[in-house]
Amino acid sequence: MDELLQQVAEQTGIPADMLERAARARAGASGTSAEAIVAGWAGAPIPEAGAASVATAPAAAPSAAAPVEEAVSGLSVEVLEPAAETEESEQEPEPEPEPELVGPGLPRWLSAAFVIVPFIAILYALSVPNGPDCGNAGRLGLDEVTGVAVNCDGSEFGSEEVDVFALGQSVYDSTCAACHGPTGGGGAGPALAGGSVVSTFASCTDHIEWVTLGSDGWPDGTYGDNATTVAGGMPGFGALLDASDLVAAVFYERVAFGAEELTAAEASCGLAPAAEALAAP
C-alpha cells in the first residue's frame, strides 16, 4: 500500500499521508478497505479482501487524479484564525473643547480690547485734537530746557501764577489757528498778523466782545474800528471757551500778531495784574 500511496502522491502532487487518511475515511464510509481505495486511485488491480499485500501496478492513468482530489477535498481541515482583537469595554471620553483663541493664543475678549482701545483713543484725538483746555483738567507740560514738569501754560507746577501769553497761545493753536492760520496769516478767516488785528480793534474790549459773540451773534452789520462788513462763519466762542481762556487768546493775538506792547495789552484787556485776574476762581 505504501508503494501505491507514493505512486498516487507523485501523480497528483498530494502528500502521501493525506492520501492515506482520505483512503481510510472513504473506506470506512463505503465498507471497503483502504488498500482497495488506494489501488483504485493508482489504477492497479483491487486486492481481494484479506490479501496481505498488493502487487505493484503499472503507472496510473492521468484520470486517477480527479477521484483522489475529490476524496481529499472531503477531509475537514480546521483552520486557526488569529484571535480578533477584543473591543474596549468602554470608550475613551472625548476631550473637552479648549477655550476659543484668536491669533497666537489670545482670548477673544483680549483681542477685541486691542481693537477697541486704540479706536477710542483715535476718536478722542479727532474730536479733541488738543485735549482739554489748560487748567480745566490739571494738564501738565514739560519744560524743554530744564526737563521739569510745569503747568500747560508754562508756569511753575503748583503755583497759582498764570502765564497769560503762553495760555493764550495754547488756546489759539487749538481753537483759532484752523481758520486764521498758525502764524495769523489768515485762511478761512481774515488775517490777524501785520498789525491788522489791532487796526481793526483798537480796544481790547471790543475785540473780546467780537470773539465772544461771533458773526451770528453780532447785532450790527459791521464790526471793528474800520467798519468791516460782518460775514458769516465766525462762531461765538463765549459758549465754547472759559472766559479766562477767551481773554488769554485775545491777549495773545494782540501781542503776537498786532505788535501791541505787553503792558499796554494787559491794561487794555484788563489783565493788570494778569496773574491775580486769571488765577481767581
Statement: residue 138 has pLDDT above 50:
no
Listed as own residue / partner, the contacts of 269-276 with beta carbons closer than 8 Å and 24 or more positions apart are 269/204, 269/205, 269/208, 270/204, 270/205, 271/164, 271/247, 274/162, 274/164, 275/160, 275/161, 275/162, 275/164
250 within 8 A of 211, measured Cβ to Cβ: yes
| Residues 21/27/33/35 CA torsion (nearest 10 deg) | -40
Q: What is the structure's pLDDT at 6?
A: 78
Give the pLDDT confidence score for residue 105 in this predicted structure: 59
Q: pLDDT at position 169, please? A: 95
Read off the pLDDT of each residue in 233-240 and give the average, rounded to a whole number: 91
pLDDT band at 147 (very low <50, low <70, confident <90, very high): low
Percentage, residues of the chain above pLDDT 90: 28
- Eight-state DSSP code of residue 140: E
Q: Which is it for the CA torsion 133, 137, 142, 148, positive or negative?
A: positive
- Give me the pLDDT at residue 177, please: 94
Instruction: Read off the pLDDT band of 279 (50, 70, 90).
Output: very low
pLDDT in tens, 63-104: 444 555 555 555 544 444 445 554 555 566 677 666 555 455
Higher pLDDT, 217 or 32: 217
Q: Which domains does the chain have, with CATH numbers?
A: 2-73 (no CATH), 160-279 (1.10.760)
Percent of the chain with pLDDT over 70: 58
Q: Give exposure, 73-109, as e/b (b: 16+ Cβ within 10 Å).
A: eeeeeeeeeeeeeeeeeeeeeeeeeeeeeeeeeeeee
Closest CA to 249 of 178, 180, 165: 165
Mean pLDDT of all residues in the chain?
A: 73
Beta-carbon contacts of 154 under 8 Å, excluding residues fewer than 6 positions away, are: 141, 143, 163, 166
Nearest Cα to 247, choosing from 219, 267, 227? 267
Confidence of residue 4 (pLDDT cuts 50, 70, 90): confident
- Give pLDDT, residue 63: 47
